[in-house]
Chains A and B, each alone.
Chain A
């Protein structure tokens, strides 16, 4: 019986039909429709496994040069960097990708490419504070915010990346001090996801939080009226506009080192940066297109306004990840 199972569902490696295999940390809901469009357009079949980025990376490593995966998709640059460092990606040079994706959102040698942007600004409860009081991430450590901030756990990669970006900007010592100040100001111990922080701020448990914008967007479009009501109470503040800019991360992908269908994988990457695909990211999940000049179509994103984004090379988020985790451990950020 087991042999039968093995034979039936062996990894599809037949090179005859055009296909491409993905390991994706983007969840099925948030990538499959786009892949279906690609298939409809090109006739290339896309096979998908979703899962946590770390686990899929481990799978890539252990499968080694026999891996069936052609492409590794993640929701943050840190993991892409980790994959590159682990030696499971290959450099791709594609004029299309290089032209359409700004340099800071892709690896310099083409090991990975950012495909959509995720901004992580400050959010606040309307009416409970004057946005003029807000300025930078750094200022959130100020004692005047004591008991007024909610933030999710340091376990989360978005917080790890944010702290890594601050280490790059301000150095480790200053950042650790900042993290201590932030922890001191928390209204409650970190728990739940970004949406939970937004809801807590809406309900009055705290006034300020740090969250990715698409979570707020998702709540505003929710089918649950109470979620919509909560989201209505929250506004976005773009911090650090006078210096480095707001922290952004990317959701991106790289071609694996041993990809059996390297060329189709590159084709898929190039499709993902077309206007059609880029608009989809914004339409469906309120993410920002990585390609400049794409009209910000949903009214929502338009209403949030333009912002200056931090332009540090996103590879550094990966390089400083471990330092960021340790620093948060020391600062008592749960």
Chain B
């Protein structure tokens, strides 16, 4: 409280506060803590099972499979970290700092793989590269080989899972690091050039260190997605924490042991969050000077252009063009009987759901991030962290965490209403779209929050102070100063959540109301039924719906670079997320 009020005490206000308000809880702090607690409820519910003793099953897990789970999860994380860093950072640097023909296209096209649900790409590649798939069959026919005569990488392995996840998750790193590179002051680059640094030295000494917080923010998003992935690892037979939780909970029927596994998983997540925070706190700098001068770019010669094409083209081809092309060709063959009136209903459901979830997550994120900026106390800080935990938890675990408190709430209200008024209220929340929406918030608020927070951090606090000293209230500062300045971050937050919700499966599957389907549900049901060709139309629609926002976003980034001098609104649109805070 003390701290929260301090800015007001420093500066004389035009109208003195009424006495009672000085002692009332700060609405920002109270609201943020309330939202965070609500959002964290499912995670808390699941972890509370830890206190249920699970002796025998836990011993069994420790004796048999736990080591596998830990080792495989670590390998998976290390592999995906390496994969997304190499692809994401290198392509971001190439498209920002170098000029070569085709760069404009790569700038936005490199984001496209993000629209793919990981499990869809896994199914597609398995169909293609499996022992029985067309590639290996053709090879065998050409060279008259049979099984055992030749070596071919096994797609359904932990290595395969790393490649699949890296291909669809690198855009997180690309997006955030490119934004950070764009933000870099051209003066620093000029200086490094004048001091005789070549492109590589400038990259290593200037760009990389100052973009590090953004890179790590992107990486932590990618790794959290990795930890939460179930579809891919399950299909590839890689036993890790996620598959282990399911197996323990449902196969062994032991919720407590499963919760203990979840808790162990959460320590991984927590470590990630701590690392990310730590890396940010060590580099705290805000917008400095004018950055409307175009960044100096390195013009590439023929040879290097080819290399740049290769570096940017390969992830694009493998992560989007190839699987996308396959899916489109399959859907052409099957669309005639798959695409009907029901299909368009699915498209409508998915888009409305994803759109409203994205907007709602943005509102919550804005409120929380702004409240953190205003008050900055321990309470709000840890509340904001708490609310972000859900991102790395598998959707099914979240869904169960949503169901338990909602079911309890509904039944309690119902019992009370029956007793008091003799009417049954039935289920108010369970089995409604509200429950689905809530689960999305639990799962994806972190994405919105991370993006908005990063955008807000870039704005110098002195601006707030100036505005406040001129008599603006916090909400006015937010509306008139901050929102216009962070349009880019806001757009990104909407885009990321939209695409994530379009792809989301397990929570939607379990929590949705009767007769309500989405594209992801449809694609998944057909794909797990091993009817990949029939699933392709729904998959194509998911990807297509994700492409449009991707292109819009990336256009606004590009515009920001070519904007004329001065602080135009367009230039600000491009100030993307996760700038060093």
Interface residue? A127 (CB, 8 A): no
| Closest Cβ neighbor of A218 among chain B residues | B530
User: In whole angstroms, how far apart are the Cα atoms of A28 and B400 in the complex?
Assistant: 22
Query: Given contacts A27-B529, A191-B236, A321-B253, are A329 and B513 in contact (CB under 8 A)?
Result: no
B131 touches A203 (CB 8 A): yes
User: In whole angstroms, how far apart are the Cα atoms of A141 and B511 in the complex?
Assistant: 42
| Closest Cβ neighbor of A2 among chain B residues | B434
Chain B residues positioned under 8 Å from A195 (CB to CB)? 530
A205 to chain B, nearest CB (A): 5
Interface residue? A322 (CB, 8 A): yes
> Could you give, for residues 209-243 of chain A, a 1 whenever the CB lies within 8 Å of some chain B CB and a 0 otherwise?
00000010010000110100010000000000000
| Closest Cβ neighbor of A5 among chain B residues | B433
Most buried by B among A21, A65, A322, A329: A329
Interface residue? A16 (CB, 8 A): no
Within 8 A of A (CB), among B37-73: 60, 64-65
B398 to chain A, nearest CB (A): 11
Beyond the given pairs A21-B514, A223-B333, A325-B247, 6 more chain A to chain B contacts, judged by CB atoms under 8 angstroms and listed by A's residue number, are A11-B427, A50-B509, A62-B404, A155-B247, A188-B154, A322-B254
User: In whole angstroms, how far apart are the Cα atoms of A190 and B506 in the complex?
Assistant: 24
Chain A residues positioned under 8 Å from B356 (CB to CB)? 1
Interface residue? B271 (CB, 8 A): no
- The stretch that binds B, out of A52-60, A177-185, A275-283, A289-297, is A52-60
| Closest Cβ neighbor of B408 among chain A residues | A62
| Closest Cβ neighbor of B511 among chain A residues | A59
A-B CB contact pairs (8 Å), 17 listed: A6-B429, A10-B432, A21-B514, A27-B529, A28-B522, A49-B516, A54-B246, A63-B411, A66-B410, A66-B414, A67-B427, A190-B237, A191-B156, A195-B530, A202-B132, A224-B533, A329-B65
Chain A residues positioned under 8 Å from B124 (CB to CB)? none
- By Cβ-Cβ distance, the 5 closest A-B pairs, closest first, are A62-B407, A191-B237, A199-B132, A47-B514, A54-B250
Within 8 A of B (CB), among A19-61: 21, 27-30, 47-52, 54-56, 58-59, 61
Interface residue? B239 (CB, 8 A): yes
B282 to chain A, nearest CB (A): 40
| Closest Cβ neighbor of B255 among chain A residues | A58
Interface residue? A165 (CB, 8 A): no
Interface residue? B209 (CB, 8 A): no
A153 touches B514 (CB 8 A): no
B529 touches A52 (CB 8 A): no
B251 touches A322 (CB 8 A): yes
Most buried by B among A1, A58, A188, A202: A58
A188 to chain B, nearest CB (A): 8
Interface residue? A146 (CB, 8 A): no
B147 touches A203 (CB 8 A): yes
Most buried by B among A1, A2, A12: A2
Interface residue? A189 (CB, 8 A): yes
Chain A residues positioned under 8 Å from B512 (CB to CB)? 49
User: In whole angstroms, how far apart are the Cα atoms of A51 and B250 in the complex?
Assistant: 14
B153 to chain A, nearest CB (A): 13
A66 touches B427 (CB 8 A): yes
Chain B residues positioned under 8 Å from A65 (CB to CB)? 411
Interface residue? B279 (CB, 8 A): no
B143 to chain A, nearest CB (A): 14
Q: Contacting B137 at CB < 8 Å: which of A12, A203, A224?
A: A203
Chain A residues positioned under 8 Å from B414 (CB to CB)? 66
Interface residue? B558 (CB, 8 A): no
| Closest Cβ neighbor of B65 among chain A residues | A329
A: residues with CB less than 8 A from B are: 1-2, 5-6, 8-13, 21, 27-30, 47-52, 54-56, 58-59, 61-68, 82, 153, 155, 160, 188-196, 199-200, 202-205, 215, 218, 223-224, 226, 230, 321-322, 325-326, 329-330, 334
A226 touches B514 (CB 8 A): no
| Closest Cβ neighbor of A285 among chain B residues | B529
Main secondary structure of the interface of B (DSSP, over half): helix
B132 touches A230 (CB 8 A): yes
Interface residue? B484 (CB, 8 A): no
| Closest Cβ neighbor of A219 among chain B residues | B530
Q: Contacting B251 at CB < 8 Å: which of A52, A59, A66, A155?
A: A155
Chain A residues positioned under 8 Å from B514 (CB to CB)? 11-12, 21, 47-49, 68
Interface residue? B130 (CB, 8 A): yes
Interface residue? B190 (CB, 8 A): no
A11 touches B131 (CB 8 A): no
B569 to chain A, nearest CB (A): 28
Interface residue? B206 (CB, 8 A): no
Query: Given contacts A191-B156, A224-B533, A330-B64, are A54 and B407 in contact (CB under 8 A)?
Result: no
Most buried by A among B251, B252, B356, B426: B251
Q: Contacting B147 at CB < 8 Å: which of A52, A62, A204?
A: A204
Interface residue? B83 (CB, 8 A): no
User: In whole angstroms, how far apart are the Cα atoms of A153 and B156 in the complex?
Assistant: 12
Chain B residues positioned under 8 Å from A13 (CB to CB)? 426
Most buried by B among A54, A55, A192: A55
A11 touches B529 (CB 8 A): no
Within 8 A of A (CB), among B238-258: 239, 243, 246-247, 249-254
| Closest Cβ neighbor of A82 among chain B residues | B253
A326 touches B60 (CB 8 A): yes
Interface residue? B208 (CB, 8 A): no
A29 touches B430 (CB 8 A): no
B513 touches A192 (CB 8 A): no
Interface residue? B517 (CB, 8 A): yes
Chain B residues positioned under 8 Å from A191 (CB to CB)? 156-157, 235-237
B334 touches A6 (CB 8 A): no
Chain A residues positioned under 8 Å from B252 (CB to CB)? 322, 325-326
User: In whole angstroms, how far apart are the Cα atoms of A67 and B246 in the complex?
Assistant: 24
Interface residue? B26 (CB, 8 A): no
User: In whole angstroms, how far apart are the Cα atoms of A321 and B251 in the complex?
Assistant: 7
Within 8 A of A (CB), among B427-448: 427-434, 437
B95 to chain A, nearest CB (A): 37
Chain B residues positioned under 8 Å from A10 (CB to CB)? 426-428, 432, 513
Chain A residues positioned under 8 Å from B137 (CB to CB)? 203, 226
| Closest Cβ neighbor of B508 among chain A residues | A51
User: In whole angstroms, how far apart are the Cα atoms of A13 and B425 in the complex?
Assistant: 11
B253 touches A322 (CB 8 A): yes
Interface residue? B146 (CB, 8 A): yes
A204 touches B146 (CB 8 A): yes
A59 touches B131 (CB 8 A): no
User: In whole angstroms, how far apart are the Cα atoms of A218 and B533 in the complex?
Assistant: 13
Chain B residues positioned under 8 Å from A55 (CB to CB)? 396, 399-400, 506, 509-510
Chain A residues positioned under 8 Å from B237 (CB to CB)? 153, 189-192, 334
